[in-house]
Amino acid sequence: MSKYWQRRIQEENEANMRKSKAEVQKLLRELYRKESLILFHQLESTFSKILKDAAEENVVHLNDLYLTDKFYTLIDYFNECASRIGGKQVTITEDSLINIYELAHATVTHNVPAAIIPTSFTVPSSSLLEESTEQAVRRTWCIDGKNFSERIWGNKQALVQDLTRTMTDYAAQGTSPYNMAQGIAQRLAVDESNAYRLARTELAHFQVASQVDKYKELGFTHGIFRSEDPCDECGAHDGKTYTLDELERMIPLHPNCECSFDLKV
């Protein structure tokens, strides 16, 4: 059973997480809505020009794309769109990570009773003291060895490929400029849900990482894995004791994992 102050830490963290997720979701929605409109208009006007130059029908064919210099213009639009989204997505994600990191730090600081702080308190290593929050949230923590920014840019390469493939699929069937532009622009919705999922996963991790940093700074060493509504994977760890370093590496165990830990005192 967790103690009263641990309950309070848990509740503050949950409230902060809900707010952070809602804020990120709102900002991403605005970003993608705007970019989707820009892309739609660029594409529709370019496809209409291609149609005027080429076919006698009302639909754009694959050959019409390849046989005009507009093909590279279209790929440029995809690249520009992905790079604008990526740049803003990094900022939105990073701001939210810095915010959750600082909130979780403050939550620990003002809730842990002074009486339980270990007497054998050791001065934290200088690297931990000198690391800024901006540096802290850029740490790599997954097996892939990438930080959130690198993961975002990897997703943007995949986005350009997806948009290009969608365009050639539509053109292979022969599609009107309007339907083709709309079908391609709608693919941004898939990227938006990836962006939101990535932010949620990073938020979950850096809320835990911040607690771990603060507890270690205070001289604590272990925590107890806590899972409110565990799946099989998370349930296997529920209630078990781990070192703070282990907990930092473990959580979240998978996308949408909401597990956390209690300090072992």
- Reference 47, options 174, 186, 191, 156; nearest CA is 174
257, 260, 261, 263: residue in contact with Zn ion (rule CB under 5 A): 257
Q: What's the closest the beta carbon of residue 242 comes to Zn ion, in angstroms?
A: 14
Distance between alpha carbon 252 and the CA centroid of its chain, in Å?
Answer: 13
Stretch that binds Zn ion, among 83-91, 94-102, 198-206, 256-264 (CB under 5 A): 256-264
Cβ closer to Zn ion: 43 or 204? 204
Cβ closer to Zn ion: 70 or 200? 200
Q: What's the closest the beta carbon of residue 260 comes to Zn ion, in angstroms?
A: 9
Which burial class, exposed, middle or buried, applies to 184 when counting CB atoms under 10 A from its CB (0-12, 13-18, 19+)? buried
Interface mask toward Zn ion for 201-240; x: CB under 5 A: ------------------------------x-xx------
Cβ closer to Zn ion: 152 or 251? 251
Stretch that binds Zn ion, among 22-30, 68-76, 215-223, 246-254 (CB under 5 A): 246-254
Q: What's the closest the beta carbon of residue 64 comes to Zn ion, in angstroms?
A: 49
Place of tokens 């702080």: 117
Count the site residues for Zn ion by CB under 5 A. Answer: 6
Q: What's the closest the beta carbon of residue 18 comes to Zn ion, in angstroms?
A: 17
- CA angle 14–214–16, rounded 5-degree value: 20
Cβ closer to Zn ion: 89 or 211? 211
Phi and psi, residue 60, nearest 5°: -90, 130
Stretch that binds Zn ion, among 21-29, 178-186, 203-211, 252-260 (CB under 5 A): 252-260
Q: What's the closest the beta carbon of residue 12 comes to Zn ion, in angstroms?
A: 19
* DSSP string over 99-144: HHHHHHHHHHHHHS-GGGS-SS--PPPHHHHH--HHHHTT---STT
> Which residues contribute to the site for Zn ion (CB under 5 A)?
231, 233-234, 253, 257, 259
